[in-house]
Structure 1
Amino acid sequence: MSTMLKPGEKTVTRLWETACGVRRIDLATITRLFDIPLEGPQQEFLPLETALTDPDTLRAEFISAMDELEQEHGLQGGVPSYAATDEMGLSEARRPDGAIKMTVQVWRRGFEIPQYASSSDLFGWCFLHATQPRHEDSGSVALLDPRAGSEGTAMPGLPWGREVTFRPSPGLLAVGPGWLTSTVRPVEDGQAVVVAVASKTA
């Protein structure tokens, strides 16, 4: 079941209409049983075959969410990096066929990613496994508006939006456009998060 965050509904902007795709998927036939040690590298990349029993299904879930997000952008004016605009100024989303890039990562104590922008047109995460943190935002991913002044607006959402936070909950899949900046909040001591990270460039 997919839920689309539409412009103005806990999304990133009001004037520049941008939506994020969020859905919850069933991991029962996708992931293997995890026995992730809490001690180890802050960031560890796992071979897909050791973490996933069915990587093709997870890829299909990412592609479906990205296609839905792309459709939303097309209806709301298109994504600048790959939208086609006709002579009347109408935008039509178009993304050439192609495989997404996908990795599976383990995040442990101290791992974090400062605010950064992706070079991909679309990108996303799917949490596969997570131990319960003491702080609810530990290991979460946040999308933020990169435009100057977005943090200084007096009224939330006007003219810029606020960040959208995705907390590490197994089965939560989220995608967004690459022009948004994102960050991974620091992972606390005693926590381990396994996440699939996907990107798509036209």
Structure 2
Amino acid sequence: MSTVSRHWPTNLVLDEVDLAGIVHEDLPVLLSGTGGGSMEVIENKRALADEVALRARLTASMQALAVADSRPQPDEIHLEVQLWRGGYDLPATASPADYVAWCVLAATSSNHEQSGAIAVADPRAGCALVPMPGLPWGRSAMIAAKVGAHLAAPGWLTHFVIPVEKDQAVIVAVAFSI
């Protein structure tokens, strides 16, 4: 008898990061500001009290993925802090980086659990009669816009942001392996 084996696994890190000491205690104040459009890149030091600790945590997630994928481990990351306001969304895209990671640093409440969520999906074609793209190769994964939510994935996965609600705001750290 033969068994089915997965020849092309898609490894992800879905986790929660304890942000105590990493973000400034007054970070939620930035959520109430206006202006800057639906997406604004803010200086890391405005949001992060300990950027080194967050970099280490996101790099560790990418290194764990590299080990699982039998690939070289990234030593460095590019880290950007983004403020998303009502109306922001990111259409399905991919990254040339080997790995991408997100960590929600602050967020206001929303009426819909998925508003402002970050999702990844496997873009590989599945087979005929499969209802979702990428199946059976993989499943989509999503993190809600909740403080500490963390997702790391290969850059080739399609990733997108569910539209942020009109009165919602989210601050996210986005990292790319170098």
TM-score under structure 1 length normalisation: 0.77
* Structure 1 match to 2:55: 59
Structure-1 residue corresponding to 2:10: 18
Equivalent residues in 2 for 1:100-111 (5 A)? 100-111=77-88
In 2: Cα distance, 1:31 partner to 1:158 partner: 38
Say whether the 8 Å CA contact 2:115–2:163 is kept in structure 1.
yes
Q: Which residue of 2 aligns with 1:146?
A: 123
Unaligned residue ranges in structure 2 (runs of 5+): 1-5
How many angstroms does 1:39 deviate by? 3.4
Question: Does structure 1 residue 186 correspond to structure 2 residue 178?
Answer: no
Partner of 2:72: 94
Residue 3 of structure 1 aligns with which residue? none
* Partner Cα separation in structure 2 for residue 101 and residue 22 of structure 1: 20
Query: Which letter does structure 1 place at the counterpart of 2:173?
Result: A
TM-score normalized with structure 2 length: 0.87
**Secondary structure at 2:62 match in 1:** helix
Asked whether the 8 Å contact 1:15–1:159 carries over to 2, the reply is no
In the alignment, structure 1 residue 124 sits paired with structure 2 residue 92: no
- For the 8 Å contact 1:127–1:168, the answer to whether it is kept is yes
Matched-pair contact (CA < 8 Å) for 1:103–1:197: yes
Shift of the 150–53 alpha-carbon distance from structure 1 to 2, 3 Å rule, reads: farther
**Alignment-derived partner of residue 172 in structure 1:** 149
SS of 2:32 mapped into structure 1: coil
Query: Structure 2 CA distance, aligned partners of 1:96 and 1:158?
Result: 29
Task: Report percent identity of matched pairs.
Answer: 41
Cα distance in 2, alignment partners of residues 139 and 127 from structure 1 = 10
Please report the RMSD computed on the Cα atoms of aligned residues, expressed in angstroms. 2.1
- Determine if the alignment matches structure 1 residue 30 to structure 2 residue 37: no
Q: Secondary structure at the match of 1:195?
A: strand
Aligned-partner residue type, residue 43 of structure 1: M
The range that moved more, 55-64 or 155-164, is 155-164
Contact 2:127/2:135, CA 8 A, preserved across alignment: no
Of residues 112-121 and 156-165 in structure 1, the stretch that sits farther from structure 2 once superposed is 156-165
Letter in 1 for 2:103: C
Equivalent pairs counted in the alignment come to 169
Q: Which runs of 4+ in 1 moved over 3 A?
A: 149-152, 154-158
In the alignment, the residues of structure 1 paired with residue 145 and residue 165 of structure 2 have an alpha-carbon distance, to the nearest angstrom, of 12
Distance in 1 separating the partners of 2:165 and 2:132: 32
TM superposition shift of 1:15: 4.7
Gap runs ≥5 in structure 1: 1-13, 75-92
Letter in 2 for 1:50: R
Q: Structure 1 residue 160: deviation in Å? A: 2.6
Kindly state the Cα deviation for residue 189 of structure 1 after the two structures are TM-superposed: 1.0
